[in-house]
Amino acid sequence: MTTVSHVLNETRFVSEELRGRVLDAIEELNYQPSGVARSLRRKRTHTIGMIIPDNTNPFFAEVARGIEDASFEMGYNVILCNSDGNLEKEMDYLGLLIEKRVDGLVFVSAGSNPAAIEMLSTQKIAGVIVDREILGLAMDSVLTDNKRGGYQATRYLLDLGHRRIACITGPSQLTPSAERVTGYRNALQEAGIPVDENLILAGDFQSQSGYQGMRTLLRLSPPPTAVFVCNDLMAIGALCAAHEVGLHVPQQLSIVGFDDIALASFTTPRLTTIAQPKYEMGLMAAEMLVERIKNKDLPPRRRLLDTELIIRDSCAILQREE
């Protein structure tokens, strides 16, 4: 076996005749070298761990695809872990990936988790934070300018003549949600419109909460004429609620989403939304991580990507009553 090892790993001179015999035997026996042993010897597994909060959300699916494609091209395998937004499950997966000796980690946090910050800081694993900022953790990050996106969505509705504009948010403890609401507030204040807290309802980034939020908003007197919904899944739920009560979108109610998932092009009406460069976020995260794996002395880097307003069919100019 020592000679086989020298042939496979090119660690010592072996005559061409003996090398040929070894390679012929390997092919005949379909021998597979131990990846674990090789990884321990080289202190590299060429494996990247990825933790996301919800693999059923098309936004995270597209980010993950970018990470996987880029990692494969660079010679790395990816282990995908879904935390379900559960902090305890997130910690279990962090421990598992560290135990598996992954070379690096792409991490989308489930929320504020001091235990995760301590573990990542102590282990000093190469890592990149994606989508959600984690205060107190000195890691590379790839983020979207969520504040600008929230502003763009609200500014667009204002330009269409809407003044009573509601907002269905995501979880307040997550930075993307909080920043989108800040952008919403900034646009209203810039236009001289007081922020009505009754028009801001908390959701959880799932379709059901968008549905329930819209049902609640439509019971207000007067109801909003437009709604900025902080992700597309909730916006699809909101469209469903409007349809159920007989409201025509966009003639009687305008709706803007956030993310630009593929389904946004196939709703009725097609959803106007704020696009995030999801796949590009994944590509960039993987490339930054491999750079970090190869050079852990790099200073922490932060990439903030732009959003784009995608105008489709779910918004219209406010028709004022005579």
* 99-104 long-range Cβ contacts below 8 angstroms, 24+ apart: 100/45, 100/47, 100/49, 101/39, 101/45, 101/47, 102/45, 102/47, 102/48, 102/49, 103/44, 103/45, 103/46, 103/47, 103/48, 103/76, 103/293, 104/48, 104/49, 104/128, 104/289, 104/290, 104/292, 104/293
Mean pLDDT score of the chain, rounded to an integer?
Answer: 90
Q: Provide the token pair at 247.
A: 């409201």
**Does the fold of domain 146-276 match that of domain 42-144+279-305?**
yes
State yes or no: pLDDT of 274 exceeds 50. Answer: yes
pLDDT digit string, tens, across residues 196-213: 999 999 999 999 999 999
Q: Are 152 and 146 in contact (CB under 8 A)?
A: no
pLDDT at 121: 87
Give the torsion sign (CA, 221, 204, 260, 241).
negative
Q: Is 245 helix (H, G, I), strand (E, B) or coil?
A: coil
Segments of 11-134 assigned E as strands = 47-52, 77-82, 104-107, 126-130
pLDDT at 11: 53
pLDDT at 111: 84
State yes or no: pLDDT of 256 exceeds 50. Answer: yes
- DSSP class of 262: G
Q: What is the pLDDT confidence band of residue 21, given thresholds at 50, 70 and 90? A: confident
CATH of 42-144+279-305, one of 3.40.50.2300, 3.90.950.20, 3.30.70.3270, 3.20.20.140: 3.40.50.2300
% of the chain beyond a pLDDT of 90: 76
The domains of the chain are located at 2-33, 42-144+279-305, 146-276
State yes or no: pLDDT of 108 exceeds 50. Answer: yes
The residue among 42 and 234 whose pLDDT is bigger is 234
**Average pLDDT of the residues in 181-195:** 98
Q: Is 126 helix (H, G, I), strand (E, B) or coil?
A: strand
146-276 belongs to which homologous superfamily?
Response regulator (3.40.50.2300)
pLDDT at 136: 83
pLDDT at 135: 83
pLDDT at 34: 47
pLDDT digit string, tens, across residues 130-139: 999 888 888 9
State yes or no: pLDDT of 92 exceeds 90. Answer: yes
